[in-house]
Amino acid sequence: MDSILVTGNGPLNGQIPIAGAKNACLTLMPATLLSEEPLTLTNAPRLSDIRTMTALLQSLGAEVTSLQGGKVLAMSSHDLNNHKADYEIVRKMRASILVLGPMLARDGHAVVSLPGGCAIGARPVDLHLKALEALGAELELKEGYVHAKAPGGLKGGTFEFPIVSVGATENALMAATLAKGTTVLKNAAREPEIVDLAQCLRRMGAQIDGEGTSTITIQGVDRLGGATHPVVTDRIELGTYMLAPAFCGGRVELLGGKRSLVEAFCQKLEQAGIAIEETEAGLAVSRAAGTRVQAVDVTTEPFPGFPTDLQAQMMALLCTAEGTSVLEEKIFENRFMHAPELIRMGANIDVHGGHATVHGVDRLKGAPVMATDLRASVSLILAGLAAEGETVVSRVYHLDRGYERVEEKLSACGAKIERVAST
Ligand code: UD1
């Protein structure tokens, strides 16, 4: 398994292009199952999770062609010759459950393995299933698989999510586009990835109102057509690289970055003493020489709140802040696995249940550390960039699921970072 070697050094200066959003692309790809006509996604990120979704769609009979080095995905699912999403693929990635709603809506039956995914808590799929039941799906759980049927097709219905779920909102939204009649989804997720999905589905002919608010109304149509759709900018990649100059000092411009995608995160960074400026090409972030990051308290929440997917990176930053910060994780119960690794680098962190108290120290020291999930892995790389000496982050396959060309993007700004192939 490869590892990443990072050597702490001085300020970073330069530009980093931000890719299309992994999480948006992973829900836009299954949307191809809703139509017999081609769906083409542009601005796709080049990541192992996208290759996993490609393999899953191909296993169902869809054609997926990767063009322009993976930046364009041309998909078509004229005939679906298999309606079973197998455990061997689904276990690699939780987002695989997103093929359930579209297959069921189009052909009235589907069998999908219960997913695995990042080890950040229990992550059940009960809300996906309840929302589909509200549309008339008949579900049975057998031997680790969800067997779903909708004899006569799905029917519009009203469903109120008891807690906000991005994936369950996406599954229900896709399924409802082909259900007979009107569907109302209440307490729906408002993430930019949901808005992007709704825009793509509308391009395919769906009738949707209210995306980006907590009530989404869908008027079912008989069929959807083809479309070409650009994947929205990855707000988590954006936030992650915005932190690079916050850690190391200097000024980095994030090309394609938009403040509206990361407003809550920007406010916390500014409170911590980091300057953010909107430029013609995106966002520029800087920390002046000689200044120190200030402690801030952070609570993760569904959009538009502070994203859980930036919590690990923010915690790593606050390890060397002046003062004590409290981070509260409200989305996933077990998402502080990066804390023991940061402690190995000299951080002073106490974790109690869903709270982590970070007492700022002057500087972290390089150490061998282990990536425990996708966002944790990048938090350790960022910490290593500002630490004294060398940090080796192992198990970087997590990183490759969600960040394309990390070494290239950071070293272009002056970071000392390299991939070490396993022997
Ligand atoms: C998506 C993102 C992930 C992000 C998360 C929260 C993708 C591919 N992944 O994950 O990066 O961290 O949103 O912003 O888009 N829950 C249930 N039952 C369900 C579904 C969810 O109890 O059926 C719970 C989860 O355990 C969690 C909370 O709801 O506590 C939110 O999860 P959800 O928004 O569904 O996350 P994902 O869609 O899996």
Average pLDDT, the chain: 95
Does 369 appear as a known binding residue?
no
The full 3-state SS of 235-282, as one line of letters, equals: HHHHHHHHHHHHHHCEEEEEECCCHHHCHHHHHHHHHCCCEEEECCCE
Whole-number pLDDT of residue 22: 97
pLDDT tens digits for range 215-239: 999 999 999 999 999 999 999 999 9
Whole-number pLDDT of residue 123: 67
The domain covering 22-230 belongs, at the CATH homologous superfamily level, to Enolpyruvate transferase domain (3.65.10.10)
Annotated active-site residue in 118, 200, 248, 319: 118
Model confidence at 181: pLDDT above 70:
yes
In 180-226, DSSP assigns E strands to 182-186, 207-209, 215-219
pLDDT tens digits for range 348-377: 999 998 999 999 999 999 999 998 888 999
Evaluate: CB of 401 within 6 angstroms of ligand 1: no
Report the SS3 class of residue 419. Answer: strand
Identify the residue whose C-alpha is closest to ligand 1 atom 7: 23
| Residue 46 pLDDT class (50, 70, 90 cuts) | very high
Model confidence at 9: pLDDT above 80:
yes
> Domain 3-19+233-420's class?
alpha beta
Atom of ligand 1 nearest to the CA of 22: 8
Model confidence at 423: pLDDT above 80:
no
Evaluate: CB of 309 within 6 angstroms of ligand 1: yes
Stretch 182-188: mean pLDDT: 98
Stretch 399-406: mean pLDDT: 91
Identify the residue whose C-alpha is closest to ligand 1 atom 26: 123
Residues 6+ apart with CB under 8 A from 318: 272, 293, 295, 296, 298, 325, 327, 358, 360
Whole-number pLDDT of residue 119: 53
Identify the residue whose C-alpha is closest to ligand 1 atom 22: 124
pLDDT tens digits for range 51-62: 999 999 999 999
Whole-number pLDDT of residue 208: 98
Evaluate: CB of 50 within 6 angstroms of ligand 1: no
Identify the residue whose C-alpha is closest to ligand 1 atom 1: 166
Q: DSSP alpha helices (H): ranges in 60-96?
A: 87-90
Whole-number pLDDT of residue 116: 61
413 is catalytic: no
CATH 3.65.10.10 in the chain: give the residue spans: 3-19+233-420, 22-230
Whole-number pLDDT of residue 99: 98
**What is the 8-class DSSP label of residue 375?**
H
Are the CB atoms for 238 and 194 separated by under 8 Å? no
Ranges 203-212, 326-335, 379-388: which has the least confidence: 326-335
pLDDT tens digits for range 266-300: 999 999 999 999 999 999 999 988 899 999 999 99
Q: Which of 328, 331, 336 to mutate to test the pocket of ligand 1 (most atoms within 8 A of CB)?
A: 331
| Residue 192 pLDDT class (50, 70, 90 cuts) | very high
How many angstroms from the chain centroid is the CA of residue 191? 10
Evaluate: CB of 277 within 6 angstroms of ligand 1: no
Whole-number pLDDT of residue 124: 86
- Residue of 192, 175, 108 lying closest to 148 (CA atoms): 108
Identify the residue whose C-alpha is closest to ligand 1 atom 35: 165
Q: Percentage helix, strand, coil, to 5, in the chain? A: 35, 30, 35
Does 125 appear as a known binding residue?
yes
Atom of ligand 1 nearest to the CA of 166: 34
pLDDT tens digits for range 233-258: 999 999 999 999 999 999 999 999 99
In 96-137, DSSP assigns E strands to 109-113
Evaluate: CB of 162 within 6 angstroms of ligand 1: no
Evaluate: CB of 300 within 6 angstroms of ligand 1: no
Evaluate: CB of 163 within 6 angstroms of ligand 1: yes
Does 146 appear as a known binding residue?
no
pTM of the model: 0.97
Whole-number pLDDT of residue 79: 84
| Residue 422 pLDDT class (50, 70, 90 cuts) | confident
N-to-C CA span, the chain: 8
Whole-number pLDDT of residue 373: 86
